[in-house]
């Protein structure tokens, strides 16, 4: 694909969970747009590896943070402002799943999945929303999933959390609209990352999955990153409270 300019030069973006997968690809594409990027993850080794791959130099900050911990989130945004002086966008990219049914889940397992997916998205959106409200500009994009709309036996709690993130998107869009802040989400089908590797790396499972996707393949991280870049750009200034399906047509059939 020919390079697309999204007009994001010198803009500052926090991408949670940018050490691998969709977040890492998005961070790379933001740096290629000459934006400034802050990524976070829980593991220092992942952060070090991402820094080596991204080669962002003065435009990249890689910080350890568990997004379900309020003190980590405060520090993430404080360091972003100290280093880059403003916040143009937040991408709530972190997501995780632990395979379980809902009915048999221990409450501590429920809490763990809800913490990283939903509570973390709340804590980051809350802090970013406060900063952006002062500035009177900003964009928040969250990464949901097709699992928010389709029940899946192994991903029930995750899907419940993602459905709540889509509602949070609408609520925040309304709360922040008058401050020139747009809040949206993207909802991908399966994406070729470590997260879903057990599914797409199995030939039989892959064949079954692509039968449900009209475009006949799963998504690559770039397929998800491009709509996020659009939603972060001025081209999307009149779009808010929406979840864009990035699913190869899966939800259309
Ligand atoms: N891949 C798919 O098939 C698919 C489909 C639909 C939606 N999605 C969504 O797309 C988003 C990105 O997924 P992905 O496939 O790129 O995942 P991934 O490859 O597993 O990467 C997840 C990233 O999040 C970080 N992370 C996880 N929990 C964290 C926490 N509590 N605090 C801070 N960082 C945390 C990880 O680093 P550490 O481990 O070091 O913390 C890593 O950088 C997620 O929201 C996911 O739900 C993925």
The domain ranges of the chain are 12-193+220-247
How many angstroms separate the CA atoms of 156 and 159, rounded? Answer: 5
- Orientation of helix 21-32 relative to helix 221-232, angle to 10°: 50
Mean pLDDT of 227-246: 98
149 — pLDDT class (breaks 50, 70, 90): very high
Ligand 1, atom 24, residue with closest C-alpha: 17
Is this structure's pTM higher than 0.95?
A: yes
Is 12-193+220-247 a domain of CATH 3.40.640.10?
Answer: no
Kind of pairing between the strands at 89-92 and 181-188 = unpaired
Q: What is the pLDDT of residue 240?
A: 99
Give the distance (Å) from ligand 1 centre to CA of residue 162: 13
177 — pLDDT class (breaks 50, 70, 90): very high
Q: What residues does ligand 1 touch, defined as CB less than 6 Å away? A: 16-17, 19-23, 40-43, 46, 65-68, 93-96, 116, 120, 143, 145, 188, 190-191, 193-196
Q: What are the backbone dihedrals phi and psi of residue 144, each rounded to the nearest 5 degrees, phi first? A: -90, -145
Ligand 1, atom 25, residue with closest C-alpha: 17
How many angstroms separate the CA atoms of 47 and 63, rounded? Answer: 7
Give the distance (Å) from ligand 1 centre to CA of residue 151: 20
Mean pLDDT of 161-177: 98
Closest atom of ligand 1 to 20 CA is 43
Q: Which residues are catalytic?
A: 158
Ligand 1, atom 37, residue with closest C-alpha: 41
Q: Which of 38, 39, 40, 41 to mutate to test the pocket of ligand 1 (most atoms within 8 A of CB)?
A: 41
Helix (H, G, I), strand (E, B) or coil at 186: strand
């Amino acid at each position: 694909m020919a390079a697309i300019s999204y007009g994001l030069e010198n803009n500052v973006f926090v991408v949670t969970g940018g050490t691998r997968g969709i977040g890492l690809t998005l961070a790379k594409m933001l740096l290629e747009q000459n934006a400034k990027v802050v990524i976070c993850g829980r593991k220092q080794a992942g952060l070090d590896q991402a820094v080596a791959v991204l080669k962002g130099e003065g435009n990249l900050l890689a910080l350890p943070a568990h997004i379900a911990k309020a003190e980590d989130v405060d520090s993430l945004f404080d360091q972003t402002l100290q280093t880059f002086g403003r916040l143009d966008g937040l991408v709530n990219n972190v997501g995780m799943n632990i395979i379980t049914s809902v009915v048999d889940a221990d409450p501590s397992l429920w809490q763990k999945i809800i913490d990283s997916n939903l509570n973390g998205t709340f804590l980051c959106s809350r802090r970013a929303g406060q900063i952006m409200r002062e500035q009177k500009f900003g964009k928040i994009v969250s990464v949901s999933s097709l699992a928010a709309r389709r029940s899946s036996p192994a991903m029930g709690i995750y899907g419940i959390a993602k459905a709540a993130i889509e509602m949070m998107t609408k609520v925040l869009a309304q709360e922040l609209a008058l401050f020139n802040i747009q809040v949206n989400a993207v909802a991908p089908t399966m994406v070729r990352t470590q997260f879903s590797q057990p599914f797409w790396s199995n030939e039989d499972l892959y064949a079954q999955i692509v039968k449900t996707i009209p475009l006949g393949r799963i998504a690559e991280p770039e397929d998800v990153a491009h709509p996020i870049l659009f939603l972060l750009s001025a081209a999307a200034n009149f779009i808010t409270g929406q979840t864009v399906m990035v699913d190869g047509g899966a939800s259309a059939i």
